[in-house]
Structure 1
Amino acid sequence: MMRSPMLRLGALPPIRVSPGTLVTVLLLAVLMYPALSRGGAEQGTVVLLAVGIGLFMIVSVLVHEVAHALTARAFGATVDHIALTLWGGHTQYRARQMPALGSMLVSLSGPASNAALAAVAAGAIRLTETGSSLAVFFTVSAWLNLALALFNLLPGLPMDGGRALESLLAAALRNRVLATRITAWAGRAIAVGVVVTPLAHVVRTGGAGSLSLLTLVWAMLIAGLLWQGASRALDGAALQARIRTLDASGLAVPVRIVPPQAPLSELGAAEELERVLLLDRTAAGPDRLGRAHRIDLAAAASVPPEHRATTPAQAVASSVGDIAALPAAAQGDALIEAMLSRPAPAYLVLGENSTVLGVIMSADVNALLRRR
């Protein structure tokens, strides 16, 4: 699969430009052409105006995303890249803890930049001759940037206004999950409105005109994108709700720690073998307690009674992999962060005085988080 080209402009984050960006320019030009052609200008001039406006809107989207990126940086976030796509753009950044005000300003900086561009374009109109191609260019660009700013300020996810409202509600309600759900459902309502508005116009006008139908198709595509973004936000809220329920001490399965060389005869019957965890401490490292193994019950059962005293447990065990430690008090996000900081297939949960409370398998936690 061909990767999108990456642009680097000075100190700005890398800018990934999707081939779909060119499609956006052409679609905008097609949408603008009928309205621009009514002014009586030559066809070549109208085409240049339409394409020029399409290109300027891509620049406007880039300015929008740069505003997000620079504001996020100002609040200590790490900005990975800016992406320009068929549907506009997005800024990928990571922030451990950002205050509600910071999150709101990051969200609102994009629409604010488009409002500023609209003001600049409106001011430039006064410097051009009335009715000239430049006057038309700046007039349309001003209105489109204003529309882009207002559209992004709509209070529903994944719009910037929705993200700002989400941050505000999260601070007011002290419940990020509920705030996300409220703004995501608002985003779904906006998606429905994006389709219903042009559809009502088509019905009112009897469906006449290719522009009306093209606008309706474009609106349906945008609505689908908005609905998908809102749905992802709801999925994220559900995941966050499940993370909140995680508790290291509650997830810990009791185990009996045994050295790999222990004779099989000392480990008890089959039901006791299920609780045995062999820990090879010679493989310990800075973030590892050692290498863990679990008894293969079928292999253990096949060992004759007279040989169990001379058979080391490791001979009938399968490797679990490296094992790390987790504090018993770890819960929710703190538990996930602790696991991500020390990735391992298994973790011993340690209580006071490093008492082993049990073991947590990474696969079990993943299964809990995927459950719907």
Structure 2
Amino acid sequence: MSSPDNGTKVRNEGLVLGSVRGTPVILANSWFIIAAVTVLIFGPQLQGIFPTLGWGAYGIAFAYALLLLISVFLHELAHAVSAKLYGWTTHRIVLNLWGGHTEFDFSKASPGKALVVALAGPLANFALAALGYLFRWAFIDAGASTTVAMNVAVLLSNIFIWANLLLGLFNILPGSPLDGGRLVESIVWKATGSQEKGTIAAGWAGRVIVVLIVAGFLLVPYLRGRTPELTSSFIVVLLAGFLWMGASASIKGATIRLRLPQITAGSLAAPAVSASSQCSVAQLWTLRGEFPAAPIVLHGADGRPSGVVDEHALAHVPSQAAGLTPANSVARALSAGAYVPATAAGAELVQYLAQLPDTEYAVIDPQGRITGLLSQAKVVAAITGKPLR
């Protein structure tokens, strides 16, 4: 990774297995949970099928988890390779509890390219399933041996084949956060010219898929008078929750991106008046009388904003001391550079504010004059669409 912060994030996310042409491959800590669950569920089952294996059955069950990990890794690697062919930056490949994900820079994306990169993963799984079948046919089915080792080899090859078929089929379902969601996104994106609208449509399609999965696996058996198996129900509920959160995150992120271009510092700021930080409280009182509702922003000798007058402190200075009390003593200090152009909008505005530790910022016009006061809370409310508290 290029920056220390990103490097720290990668290390904290899990075990770094290596990199593929500069893209870190991370085994998230959560993967060990699914590996343990796999061993605990399938180990006893294998002991029942092959009693002679003994505790070795748990080793075979762990091999299940490794085969699934390999399948997911190659799925994500296909995404990363196809993205690199288009010149996109790939930040990391993460293998985790729910499978994995690959982080890209989509700034160069188009509907067609995004769809190709998304479908590369499922196609890789279908290819792996085909290779697994050919391997079983050539090296296992052709043999006449019925030893325990051969039966275990058949079992593992079947697991590999079916795992990749299911991964491929599941991921082409047309809804976010699944790869098939890119199909919905690309169609709407192409029709409307807006990737964000496509992402929102794919997110809602993902929510519909979640409802259908839950209804199919849990509701339908109840309607037919059967009780769903507990372990399967637990897995379905967890999976549905993960998919719902992913779809909702897609909708929220795209909605925010749609709002960003309409958000400007000038439109969100409260109109303000300015005064020199060298003036007295008495002079501030005079200014307050002329502009009773406007915030007062102080500026230094260089004209740059330096503080915001605190109304409570301003009102409680004794009248006999007002002429000798400096304006700075009744103001909240602004850090150096805590001001934004009135024309700053969207991502540019967010970038400005992200570089500053303050919660309020002076707004300046093209001539450098202070025209308003902008609060961080108001910007966040405008971006998220939530009411300002």
Fold shared by both chains (TM-score > 0.5): yes
- Secondary structure at 1:104's aligned position in 2? helix
- Secondary structure at 1:126's aligned position in 2? helix
State the alpha-carbon separation in 2 of the partners of residues 260 and 21 from structure 1.
57
Q: CA deviation at 1:296?
A: 2.5
State the alpha-carbon separation in 1 of the partners of residues 342 and 332 from structure 2.
26
Structure 2 length as normaliser, TM-score?
0.77
**1:60-71, aligned counterparts within 5 Å?**
60-71=71-82
Runs of 4+ in 1 over 6 A off after TM superposition: 30-38
Partner of 2:288: 270
Matched, 1:112 2:129: no
Q: Is residue 81–residue 92 contact of structure 1 (8 Å, CA) maintained in 2? A: yes
**1:154-233, aligned counterparts within 5 Å?**
154-199=173-218, 200-201=220-221, 204=224, 206-207=226-227, 212-233=229-250
Q: Is residue 263–residue 383 contact of structure 2 (8 Å, CA) maintained in 1? A: no
- Specify the code of the residue in structure 1 equivalent to 2:242: L
- Secondary structure at 2:23's aligned position in 1? coil
Partner of 2:98: 87
Q: CA deviation at 1:278?
A: 0.5
Matched, 1:55 2:55: no
- Specify the code of the residue in structure 2 equivalent to 1:25: A
Q: CA deviation at 1:186?
A: 1.3
Partner of 1:248: 265
Q: CA deviation at 1:154?
A: 0.7
Q: CA deviation at 1:16?
A: 2.8
State the alpha-carbon separation in 1 of the partners of residues 215 and 266 from structure 2.
51
State the alpha-carbon separation in 2 of the partners of residues 90 and 11 from structure 1.
17
Question: CA separation of 1:70/1:340 partners in 2, compared to 1, >3 Å: closer, same or farther?
Answer: farther
Question: CA separation of 1:101/1:307 partners in 2, compared to 1, >3 Å: closer, same or farther?
Answer: same
Structure 1 length as normaliser, TM-score?
0.80
Q: CA deviation at 1:60?
A: 0.7
Partner of 1:358: 372
Question: CA separation of 1:332/1:119 partners in 2, compared to 1, >3 Å: closer, same or farther?
Answer: same
RMSD between aligned residues: 3.5
Question: CA separation of 1:97/1:279 partners in 2, compared to 1, >3 Å: closer, same or farther?
Answer: farther
State the alpha-carbon separation in 1 of the partners of residues 260 and 19 from structure 2.
39
Aligned partner of 1:143 among 162, 166, 185:
162
State the alpha-carbon separation in 2 of the partners of residues 4 and 83 from structure 1.
9
State the alpha-carbon separation in 1 of the partners of residues 325 and 214 from structure 2.
71
Aligned partner of 2:344 among 324, 330, 339:
330
Matched, 1:14 2:20: no
Question: CA separation of 1:94/1:343 partners in 2, compared to 1, >3 Å: closer, same or farther?
Answer: farther
Question: CA separation of 1:310/1:340 partners in 2, compared to 1, >3 Å: closer, same or farther?
Answer: same
- Specify the code of the residue in structure 1 equivalent to 2:325: T
Q: CA deviation at 1:123?
A: 2.1
Q: CA deviation at 1:59?
A: 0.8
State the alpha-carbon separation in 2 of the partners of residues 276 and 25 from structure 1.
60
Q: CA deviation at 1:191?
A: 1.2
- Secondary structure at 1:197's aligned position in 2? helix
Q: Is residue 259–residue 280 contact of structure 1 (8 Å, CA) maintained in 2? A: yes
Matched, 1:25 2:39: no
Q: Is residue 121–residue 138 contact of structure 1 (8 Å, CA) maintained in 2? A: yes
Q: Is residue 46–residue 57 contact of structure 2 (8 Å, CA) maintained in 1? A: yes
State the alpha-carbon separation in 2 of the partners of residues 109 and 154 from structure 1.
14
Q: CA deviation at 1:342?
A: 6.2
Q: Which sections of structure 2, spanning at least 5 residues, go unmatched?
A: 1-11, 144-149
Q: Which sections of structure 1, spanning at least 5 residues, go unmatched?
A: 283-288
Partner of 1:285: none
- Specify the code of the residue in structure 2 equivalent to 1:183: A
Deviations 1:22-42 (A, max 9, x none): 34235446776899899x766
Q: CA deviation at 1:198?
A: 2.7
Question: CA separation of 1:115/1:343 partners in 2, compared to 1, >3 Å: closer, same or farther?
Answer: farther
Question: CA separation of 1:304/1:31 partners in 2, compared to 1, >3 Å: closer, same or farther?
Answer: closer
Question: CA separation of 1:48/1:304 partners in 2, compared to 1, >3 Å: closer, same or farther?
Answer: closer
Question: CA separation of 1:87/1:10 partners in 2, compared to 1, >3 Å: closer, same or farther?
Answer: closer
- Secondary structure at 2:335's aligned position in 1? strand
Moved more, 197-206 or 150-159: 197-206
State the alpha-carbon separation in 2 of the partners of residues 47 and 298 from structure 1.
69
Question: CA separation of 1:355/1:22 partners in 2, compared to 1, >3 Å: closer, same or farther?
Answer: closer
State the alpha-carbon separation in 1 of the partners of residues 356 and 308 from structure 2.
21
Q: CA deviation at 1:152?
A: 0.7
- Specify the code of the residue in structure 1 equivalent to 2:250: A
Question: CA separation of 1:43/1:162 partners in 2, compared to 1, >3 Å: closer, same or farther?
Answer: farther
State the alpha-carbon separation in 1 of the partners of residues 58 and 320 from structure 2.
92
Q: CA deviation at 1:189?
A: 1.5
Q: Is residue 153–residue 161 contact of structure 1 (8 Å, CA) maintained in 2? A: yes
Q: CA deviation at 1:250?
A: 1.0
Moved more, 194-203 or 357-366: 194-203
